[in-house]
Structure 1
Amino acid sequence: MSTDFRKYASGQTLLVDADDTLWENNIYFERSIAAFISYVDHHEYSREEVREKLNEVERENTRLHGYGLTSFRQSLVTCFERLSGESITPEKHERIVSFVQSIADQEIELLPGVAETIPELASRHRLILMTKGAEAEQADKLTRSGLASYFTGVEIPKEKNAAAYHAVVAKYELAPHSTWMIGNSPKSDINPALSAGLHAIYIHHPGTWVLEQDALTKPGAEQKLLDLRNFAELLKHF
């Protein structure tokens, strides 16, 4: 991978993921899950086994209800009921809701280098935010981040698959050879963007959600895949 400063010409279109690319997100879910597992205190399953049960429920719920805090809350309730074998009481439901509320109460914490890098990128390229999830939640986080003015468009699909990327390309009349997807998720950011014929930039995050982890797809002959350690490294290329 070349590290030539600003290797790629101005005028590229950069599709940018939000959660765990621009700001911290999954670490708050992990803290909530740890509190939930401690609260469950299951006598038959280990903490790791309870987590795997929750992963199974989340896989089911995201397919049915999408992403975001409402879906996560339902996953915790469903997991609790499956592990206990009985319906949840109002008191226990309130306690579980408190784990979810702790996530909603978090201030937006931009990842290192983002605040300095985004304005520089926006001065030379077209930035479009592309993040999946609950639309109202994601729009609110963007507003609170202070970054909204740097994006010429905001797309919040229910799922980030190849079809979603094709739709964005068509909507904004993008040229695949000058369009890049930037994100921390192989499953949602990198692999489907490459499948849609775009370039991609994988930015490592140590706390990427387990359900977003996957092996990286090999780019096509006319495509590029950059592998960067942090967001600020984008300025070496763009």
Structure 2
Amino acid sequence: MTVDQEARRRAQVLIFDADDTLWENNVVFERVIDDFLAWIDHPTMDRTEIRAILDDIERANAVAHGYGSKVFLRSLGDCLARLRDRPATEAERREIDRLALALVEHRVELMPGVAEALDELAQRHKLLLLTKGDREEQQRKLDACGLLHHFGAAHIVAEKDVDTYRWLVGEHGFEPARAWMIGNSPKSDILPARAAGLNAVFIPNENTWVLEDDELDPTDAGVLRLAAFRDLLDHF
């Protein structure tokens, strides 16, 4: 064990992202998008071109309306309207709802090793949970995950930006330098946490939403990069 690892094993504040860090999430949205692109079957545009349009629409709707399956369904309808150059018909909206049924029925599927790792980490550190999105939708997942007993608090926020992390520091009164934001999203978990003075642990997920991607500084010593969630036990 290195000196840094020994230091990190002493009480820290570990803040966990939820979607695509504790449990799978975006992979379900990606499956719906695949079905949507196949259903559209545009006469002149291929799937890549249509996906680029959908990404732009999702980006705008996230700013205007937030996150979650309701906004996602709105984006699919807006994408169809742009491609057809007319509003979606009632029949088309019903088909979109049918394609996205998996989002409503989706059960929380924990990432490998999450429950076991949290059991151990909670014995040494203060654990917090920070997730963004539709409050009702995120609360449903929190209630179903079976993990809440590990956390001193769980917060659902509209956005995870620098101000959110500064608010979290003030809310719980911890020293940023002894806190770590743990997540899969460079845009929401790593970069704004670092800008607020926290350390961060980046655990990539191959199914991370494209709009959550961003460039990380490979020389930033305040970012620990791990391959899997269970690897946290080797460092904290």
Shorter chain as denominator, the TM-score bin is over 0.9
- Partner of 1:229 in structure 2? 227
CA distance in 2, matches of 1:54, 1:4: 43
Structure-2-length-normalised TM-score = 0.95
Q: What residue identity is the alignment partner of 2:224?
A: L
CA distance in 2, matches of 1:105, 1:197: 38
CA distance in 2, matches of 1:60, 1:78: 11
Deviations 1:24-60 (A, max 9, x none): 0111000000011111111111011010000000000
CA distance in 1, matches of 2:66, 2:164: 14
Q: Is residue 134 from structure 1 mapped to residue 109 from structure 2 by the alignment? A: no
How many angstroms does 1:219 deviate by? 7.2
How many angstroms does 1:192 deviate by? 0.4
Give the alignment's Cα RMSD to 1 decimal: 1.7
How many angstroms does 1:8 deviate by? 1.0
Give the direction of change, closer, same or farther, for the CA distance of 1:237–1:7 in structure 2 (3 Å limit). Answer: farther
Show structure 1 runs of 5+ residues with no match: none
Alignment of 1:17-28 (within 5 A): 17-28=17-28
**Alignment length (residue pairs):** 236
Structure-1-length-normalised TM-score = 0.94
CA distance in 1, matches of 2:102, 2:224: 35
Deviations 1:197-235 (A, max 9, x none): 000000011111111111114677xx6210000000000
Q: Is residue 215 from structure 1 mapped to residue 211 from structure 2 by the alignment? A: no
Deviations 1:48-97 (A, max 9, x none): 10100000000000000000011101000000000011111111101101
- Partner of 1:74 in structure 2? 74
- Partner of 2:47 in structure 1? 47
Alignment of 1:63-212 (within 5 A): 63-212=63-212
How many angstroms does 1:2 deviate by? 5.3
Q: What residue identity is the alignment partner of 2:37?
A: I
Show structure 2 runs of 5+ residues with no match: none
Instruction: Say whether the 8 Å CA contact 1:186–1:215 is kept in structure 2.
Output: yes
How many angstroms does 1:154 deviate by? 1.0
State the identity %: 43
Structure 1 segments of 4 or more deviating over 3 A?
Answer: 1-7, 217-220
CA distance in 2, matches of 1:31, 1:58: 16
CA distance in 2, matches of 1:2, 1:73: 48
